[in-house]
Amino acid sequence: MRIRGAGRIARAAAEALMIAAEGYSGGSVEEFRAYMEEVARLLLETRPTAVSLPNAVNYVMNRLRGSRPGSVEEAKRIVVEAAREFIEYSLQAVRRIGEIGARLVRTGDVILTHCNSSAVESILKTAWRQGKRFQVYATETRPRFQGYITARHLAEEGIPVTLIPDAAALYVVERLATKVIVGADTVAANGAVINKIGTSQIALAAKMRGIPFIVATETYKFSPYTVTGQPVEIEERSPREVLEQPPPGVEIRNPAFDATPPDYVDMIVTERGIIPPKSAALVLWEMFRRRPLDSGQGIAMEESEPTA
């Protein structure tokens, strides 16, 4: 696993489709379609939890599926253009989330974050560049230590950051933090947030302590599959990530994600504005109704005002 973060994975999937299309040298349009469908299938099998990947793949592939190219070159161009559109949209979304979410950050804040999220980094970096001064605590996020990436990126920006063991998150919430900001791999229609394992425990602690628990995520991570009640599959990774050689008779499980109930989430910061978790279904409905990427409407949408 070399690419980390659901947004980066989505952009990488779109780029992979673009590279596959550009490198194709077969015969007919139908052969090209079959080839691209196989590439898409292989990509979809790589990450069961993060909905950003299938949403990215389906965005690009649906453009091809809904077209009638007269030649292989035209079909390749359709895929390449769709992939570039998605990548650009994704990057703009992260930037916009930074602008919107920075309004929630105050000078003097002590912010806890978990794992690594380009959307969260965008918020913190934008707020810092605006002259707000605050401190960040980042969990190391075992067993893959994605928190190291967050800590390094924030330190490079000049933001004071302290790396802590995952088990110290409750200590920080109870004694130091003024708010928690995390990313998301998937947002369900009911507002539940699927993110790196340990997120739900931090959210529960924040709720008990009465401090804001904020999720930052792009709307293409909202899962249309959950509208009909389909559960989000929680990916289980290799036990060897936890311990290379466990003692005899010891079984190891390594679930990579957990689900945070919407009641534990105060707000979700998206490129379209700040919403309560209960509005996730409305976001999905709006996405289906307006199809902003296909129509070229970009990220424009009326924004809600921050409430904390």
* Catalytic member of 109, 115, 166, 266: 115
Give the model's pLDDT for residue 9: 87
Residue with tokens 């979809």: 44
Q: What is the DSSP string of 255-290?
A: B-EEEE-GGG--EEEETTEEE-GGGHHHHHHHHHHH
Residues 219, 287: contact at Cβ < 8 Å? yes
Is 109 one of the annotated active-site residues of the chain?
A: no
Residues 237, 49: contact at Cβ < 8 Å? no
Give the model's pLDDT for residue 188: 95
* Catalytic member of 109, 166, 185, 266: 185
Give the model's pLDDT for residue 307: 40
**pLDDT above 50 (res 36):** yes
**Mean pLDDT value across the chain:** 91
Give the model's pLDDT for residue 306: 41
Q: Which pTM value belongs to this model?
A: 0.86
Two tokens, residue 243: 């311990």
**pLDDT above 50 (res 298):** no
Structural domains in the chain, sorted by start: 6-94 (1.20.120.420), 98-295 (3.40.50.10470)
**pLDDT above 80 (res 64):** yes
Is 115 one of the annotated active-site residues of the chain?
A: yes
